[in-house]
């Protein structure tokens, strides 16, 4: 008789199991939203927005910060505030949400897709140094899933080559490197508050920066070109001495007071949630590390607190003889979950959502069109992670108790112990077995 649930055996976890859900809210959130609704200030620069902006910036240890419409816009505004534009090269990791590279193209820069480390899926800094040319203006580091690259070395590389460092922090609200919050380590950072993120308002974004001049520029860029008026004054900033210099052509990339109200509630819960996820991830990685053929991700010792958008691990595909798609189907079946465990992002050189050549406005000339063609890049590590060895799951699994964490490990071990059953499933029969398991 079959032992694996995918093959018709009994699932390790019953259908009535209660896994943690996301997003999370409470009665105080509802009252905060009602308070905004009753007020006569619903739009930008309201008291709720700036209260959140100052508290979140302080939590991450940055100097200045402000809300914007979403994380994609946040990257675009960061690049524009730094003066990066047409034909400038920006180094971007190949494994990230497509917005990281799309924002570069939207300011007419050239995203240079760079491969990743096999045990963190974050920027490979040897590949970064090899990608630097006289046209390179910036590096965007994406703190991906639940890992970080060597930020000390990356900062040195950027200083050596006079490059701006932009942090894409969409995945890691609450991560700290040597006691310093992500978002405070580069020149400018961008954040996402989309529904799935660990701090969420459904949609929304944020920028942090080191200097008041960058703050003034970011403010104008997100607010239809208006200069910062110090009304109300935030971060102790007065009006800029040269108002004309911070009146920039831009559009409306603002946040509402309702979104800020949700974010204030989420921020009150954030630190405890991050600490719970971090403790559970450390425990789960230790358990998985004892299972043959399972490879936990690398956690650098400089990380003093790690936030997780996705929890990730890898398969030794040669030892196991199966790929990540087969393994994820089996794991979801054992845990009675629907598509929670899945492969990581597609590398951007072959990503169905990253299609810069489809927009006419990106066709500046034939040389530029050739330069932004993602197919010109080779990303062997990213491709292998997506197609073969990588497994990820949304951070909500780390909000469960220790019992559920042990169940995840037990399910992985059950699959490995019965790997021959999984190997025997032909690729064309996967859907049939998936239906059988349900």
Predicted local distance difference test score (pLDDT) of residue 244: 84
**Stated pTM of the model:** 0.96
CATH class of 27-265: alpha beta
Cβ neighbours for 164, distance < 8 A, ≥ 6 positions apart: 82, 84, 137, 138, 139, 158, 186, 187, 188
Give the pLDDT band (50/70/90) at residue 433: low
pLDDT at 434 over 70: no
Predicted local distance difference test score (pLDDT) of residue 245: 82
Q: Given CA atoms 253, 258, 261, 267 in this order, what sign does their dihedral have?
A: negative
Say if domain 5-23+270-345+384-437 classifies as CATH 3.90.1150.10: yes
Q: Where in the chain is the domain with CATH 3.40.640.10?
A: 27-265
Q: Indicate the SS3 state at residue 252.
A: strand
**Gap between the Cα atoms of 120 and 313, Å rounded:** 9
**Gap between the Cα atoms of 143 and 153, Å rounded:** 15
Predicted local distance difference test score (pLDDT) of residue 318: 97
Predicted local distance difference test score (pLDDT) of residue 435: 58
Average pLDDT over residues 337-350: 96
Give the pLDDT band (50/70/90) at residue 428: low
Predicted local distance difference test score (pLDDT) of residue 20: 94
Q: Indicate the SS3 state at residue 364.
A: coil
Lowest mean pLDDT across 26-40, 197-211, 238-252: 238-252
Q: Indicate the SS3 state at residue 387.
A: helix
At 17-76, the pLDDT tens digits run: 889 999 999 999 999 999 999 999 999 999 999 999 999 999 999 999 999 999 999 999
Average pLDDT over residues 375-381: 98
At 303-336, the pLDDT tens digits run: 999 999 999 999 999 999 999 999 999 999 999 9
**Gap between the Cα atoms of 310 and 390, Å rounded:** 12
pLDDT at 431 over 70: no
At 246-260, the pLDDT tens digits run: 889 999 999 999 999
As a whole number, the mean pLDDT across the chain is: 96
**Gap between the Cα atoms of 436 and 333, Å rounded:** 10
At 271-297, the pLDDT tens digits run: 999 999 999 999 999 999 999 999 999
Q: Where in the chain is the domain with CATH 3.90.1150.10?
A: 5-23+270-345+384-437
Burial class (CB in 10 A: 0-12, 13-18, 19+), 65: buried
């Amino acid at each position: 008789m079959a032992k694996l649930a995918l093959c018709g055996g009994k699932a390790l976890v019953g259908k009535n199991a209660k896994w943690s859900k996301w997003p999370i809210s409470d009665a105080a959130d509802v009252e905060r939203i009602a308070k905004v609704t009753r007020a006569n200030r619903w739009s930008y620069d309201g008291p709720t927005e700036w209260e959140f902006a100052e508290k979140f910036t302080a939590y991450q240890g940055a100097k200045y910060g402000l809300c914007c419409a979403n994380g994609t816009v946040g990257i675009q505004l960061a690049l524009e505030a730094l003066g990066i534009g047409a034909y400038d090269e920006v180094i971007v990791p190949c494994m990230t949400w497509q917005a990281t590279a799309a924002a570069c193209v939207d300011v007419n820069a050239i995203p240079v897709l760079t491969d990743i480390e096999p045990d963190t899926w974050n920027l490979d800094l040897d590949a970064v140094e090899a990608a630097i040319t006289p046209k390179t203006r910036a590096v965007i580091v994406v703190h991906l899933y639940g890992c970080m690259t060597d930020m000390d070395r990356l900062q040195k590389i950027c200083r050596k080559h006079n490059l701006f460092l932009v942090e894409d922090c969409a995945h890691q609200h609450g991560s700290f490197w040597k006691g310093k919050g992500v978002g405070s380590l580069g020149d400018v950072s961008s954040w996402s508050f989309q529904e799935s993120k660990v701090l969420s308002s459904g949609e929304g974004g944020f920028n942090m920066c080191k200097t008041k001049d960058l703050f003034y520029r970011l403010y104008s860029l997100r607010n239809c070109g208006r200069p910062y008026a110090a009304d109300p004054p935030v971060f102790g900033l007065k009006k800029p001495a040269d108002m004309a210099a911070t009146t920039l052509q831009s559009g409306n990339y603002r946040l509402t007071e309702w979104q800020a109200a949700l974010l204030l509630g989420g921020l009150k819960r954030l630190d405890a949630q991050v600490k719970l996820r971090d403790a559970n991830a450390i425990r789960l990685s230790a358990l998985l590390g004892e299972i043959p053929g399972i490879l936990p991700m690398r956690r650098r010792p400089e990380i003093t607190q790690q936030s997780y958008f996705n929890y990730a691990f890898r398969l030794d595909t040669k030892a196991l003889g199966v790929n990540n798609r087969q393994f994820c189907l089996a794991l979801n079946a054992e845990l009675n979950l629907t598509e929670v465990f899945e492969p990581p992002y597609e590398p951007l050189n072959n990503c169905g959502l990253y299609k810069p050549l489809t927009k006419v406005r990106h066709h500046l000339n034939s040389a530029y069109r050739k330069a932004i063609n993602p197919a010109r890049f080779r990303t062997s590590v990213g491709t292998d992670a997506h197609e073969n060895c990588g497994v990820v799951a949304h951070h909500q699994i780390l909000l469960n108790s220790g019992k559920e964490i042990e169940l995840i490990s037990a399910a992985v071990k059950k699959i490995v112990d019965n790997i021959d059953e999984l190997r025997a499933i032909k690729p064309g029969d996967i859907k049939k077995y998936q239906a059988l398991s349900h």
